[in-house]
Amino acid sequence: MCFSATASFVAGVSLSGIGIVALKRTTRWDQIPFALIPILFGIQQLIEGVLWLSFHVHPGVAGTTTYAFSVFSHTLWPIFVPFAVALLEPVAWRRKTMHAFQLAGLGVGLYLFYFIVRYPVTAVMEEHILYVSPHFFQAPTMLLYLAATCVVSFFSSHRTVQVFGVLALVLFIVAYWIYTTALFSVWCFFSAVLSAMILLYFKSGSRQHPQMVPASGTGR
């Protein structure tokens, strides 16, 4: 989390707990990736907690934890989110649309990973942790990233998943508008809200077995 090591560790443990509850509520294998999102967010927060401590205790660890956090934020999410959301989708034309977002996410995720390796992201501790990643802030990269992590959920036939995508986009815009240089750290702080939406999905009737609808059908 973007405020302190303690906050990051508390968030990491809490998000992991939400993810475990969500996993226990899955009824099919194709729900597991979506249920894993809170756990992955939790791991990411724990990594940032270690990064906070490394600034004060062991500076040599800062580079490793910065790299690990950046792989989550830059590469994992644009690849994993559209994959997890598409697996939930019973309507064929919606799944096909999501596949385009999967390709976009794979492309931008690998593109950013290349630059993480070639020009490593650096982290600076101020009021928040600032991740210096100039390649991400190029407009085409940001648009593809948002399409893969947020807009893909707009095409879901599950209302809760749609809200998940809308919240992700709104919170990204808020984080970018207020905390541009601390964007990744602050946006991951908002992951608690998104994880609550994921748990709500598994508490609702949406988690029941959907009937697959062919592309020529009348699915929503």
| Digit-coded pLDDT (tens) for 193-215 | 788 889 889 887 555 545 555 54
- Summarised one tens digit per residue, pLDDT across range 29-86 is 999 999 999 999 999 888 888 887 777 666 667 778 888 888 998 999 999 999 999 9
Query: What is the count of structural domains for the chain?
Result: 1
Residue 112: which domain range?
5-206
- The answer to whether position 214 is within a domain reads no
Question: Per-residue confidence at 216, pLDDT binned at 50, 70, 90?
Answer: very low
- The answer to whether position 165 is within a domain reads yes
Are the beta carbons of 191 and 4 closer than 8 angstroms?
no
- CATH number, domain of 90, equals 1.20.1070
Q: Which pLDDT score, from 0 to 100, does residue 146 have?
A: 93
SS3 122: strand
- The answer to whether position 17 is within a domain reads yes
- The answer to whether position 44 is within a domain reads yes
Cβ neighbours for 30, distance < 8 A, ≥ 6 positions apart = 87, 88
- Model pTM? 0.85
